[in-house]
Structure 1
C-alpha cells in the first residue's frame, strides 16, 4: 500500500493485493515504481475540444444522422479527417467520388468540414443523393473569396500545405484561376502573367503565422496582391499551436491522450518537449512522471471525452495535487464578438 495524508487528514493513495509467488513479486515491483513518483504535483490541462469548431459541428451533424436511423450514412472521403467513432459507428462508411454512380438514389451522404468543389456537389445532386452539408462555415467563406476574386478576373494564389484536406474543394471553386502555393520557397519562385491582378487566399485549418509568412513572400515576389477579407481567416490551428506551446512552457512533461501516432504528440516531440502518448489511462508509465512537478495534459483529435477525466482521476491519487486549466481562444470582432 502507498498512502499520504490529505489536508483534511484523510489517507489517500494506492493499494494492491496479489497471491504469493510471481504475481506478488510483480505487484511489489509496480508499487515500488509508483512510490518513486509520488509527490506534490500540478496538472495543467489544455482546455477545449481538440477539434476545431467546424469539425465539432460536422461530428454533431453526423452523429445526429446516425441516431435518426434510416439506413447507412456515407461520408464523402477526405472531407472529414477527424471522425470520432461513436455508438452508431457501424452505420457509416466512406464514399469516394469515383463511387458516386454506384450509390443508390436517396442514400444520405455527408460533406465533411473540408468541403467539396461545385462539380462534386453537382454530382451528388444529379445522383439523387441526400446531402448532409457539414462544411465548416469558415471553409465556405474562404471558398466564396476564391469565387469572388476569380469572377473579377484575378489569378488566385491559394496558400496551404500539400496535405490540407480543404485544398481540393477550394481549388475546385475556380479551376482555371487558382494555383496553390505550399511554402515560402514556392512563393519566391511564383510567376504570373499579370502581377497586378493577383489575389491571395489562405486555406482554413492551417496556422495563421505560417500562412502570413508565405503570403508576405508572395507579396515580396510580386509587389502587390489583393488580400482576402480578414474576417474569413481561420484561427483554430493557430490557437491549437499556441495552446501546445503554452502548455509545454508551463510543464515538465506532457501527456497526449489519444492515438499513439497523433500529430499533436509528434509536434511536441519535434519541438524538443518531453511528451508521451496514451490511448488509455492505464497506459501511463511511472517513468513518464519522474521529476515532473508540473504535468501538462492535452487531448489529441479523436480522443474519447471520458479519457481526460479517467486520466486525471488516476494521476491525482499520486500525492497532493491541483488541476489548472489553460484556455487559448482567438476572438474575432465581426460587429458582435464571436469565437474565431
Structure 2
C-alpha cells in the first residue's frame, strides 16, 4: 500500500477567459522592432531596459540575440540600440545620438503622445503634475522630457504635499498603465486643490489598459477567484489583480503556469483568467493546461470588444516594395 499523498486537485472547475487580454498594439510593435532589427542587422541588438515587462518575452528575445542593458556605456560603438516601449528621457536620447548608435525607438506611440504634450505645453509656460508610480521607467522617461517643473503624485495624499511654483498654468499628465479608478480619484483631488488645472482632452491611460480593466470588472462578479498572467514588474498586470480585489474577488498574479497554486482554487467553482498587455498568449494557454490538470473541465470566453489597433514600425524596419521582392 502506497503512502504517497494524492495529487492535489480541486473540485470541478469552470474557467472564464477575459476578452480582451494579453498583448496590446504597443507591445506587439516593440517586440516586432527588436525581431526585425535582429533579422536585418544580425545579433547582437542592444535594448535599453526590458523591451516590455514580461520575463518570457525578454528571455525569448535574449535567445535570439538581444542584449538588455540599463546604461548606454554597456553598448559598443556602432551598435544597434532599441529604446524600450516605456520611453526614455531626453538625456538618454541625446547621449545615444552623441555616441553614434543606430537607434530604433520602440516607445509606445501612446507614451510618445504624452511626451509631445509635455513639450508643447512647457513652451507655453506650464508646470505639470504627473500621476504615476515613482521609479517606473515610463514615469522616468516622461519626467525626463523636461529639466524640471514636473511634480509626481502617486496617491491622493501626495496631492496635498506638492508645491508648484504657480497654479495658473498647471497641466495633468498620467502614466498610461495606471488603475483607471485610482487615477480618476487622484485627478479629482488635483482639480479640487488646483481648480484651473488643465486636464488632457483624452485621458492618458491607454485604450488597452482601460479595456483589460473593464473586462476584469465584468468578469470578477462572475467568478470565485481571478488569475492574472503577468510579470511582477508589469504595472498594467498588477493593476488587473488590484481591480479584482477591490471588487471583493481574490486576485493573484502568475509569471508562468508553474506559479499557479492549487490552494488558491480550493472551494472555487469558477476561476477568471486574464493577461496583462505585455503577457503573450502562449502563457495563457499554459495556465489553462495547468488549470485543467487541477480539475478545470470547461473554458468559456467572455464577450468583449475586439481591438484592431496597429502601430507602424519606424523607418528602416518597414517592409517596402524592394524588400518584399
TM-score range, shorter chain: 0.7 to 0.9
With structure 1 as the length reference, what TM-score do the two structures score?
0.74
Q: In the alignment, what sits opposite 2:322?
A: none
Give the alignment of 1:1-340 within 5 angstroms: 22=2, 25-26=3-4, 29-30=6-7, 34=9, 37-39=10-12, 41-68=13-40, 70-77=42-49, 80-82=52-54, 84-85=57-58, 87-90=60-63, 91-97=65-71, 99-100=72-73, 103-230=75-202, 233-257=205-229, 263=238, 267=242, 271=246, 273-275=249-251, 281=257, 287-299=263-275, 303=279, 305-313=281-289, 315-316=291-292, 321-326=297-302
Conserved? CA contact 2:216–2:240, under 8 Å: no
5+ long unaligned stretches in structure 2 = 312-325
CA 1:117/1:46 → structure 2, altered by over 3 Å: closer, same or farther? same
* Shift in Å, 1:108: 1.2
Would you tell me which structure has more strand in proportion to its own residues? Answer: 1
Post-superposition CA distance 1:196-253 (Å, at most 9, x none): 1222222222223322222222222122112223165424333333333333221123
Measured in 2, the distance between the counterparts of 1:279 and 1:194 equals: 44
The alignment partner of 2:148 has SS state of coil
Higher relative contact order (Cα pairs below 8 Å, separated by 6+ residues):
2
Measured in 1, the distance between the counterparts of 2:79 and 2:291 equals: 46
5+ long unaligned stretches in structure 1 = 1-20, 332-336
CA 1:167/1:276 → structure 2, altered by over 3 Å: closer, same or farther? closer
Conserved? CA contact 1:58–1:136, under 8 Å: yes
Measured in 1, the distance between the counterparts of 2:297 and 2:215 equals: 22
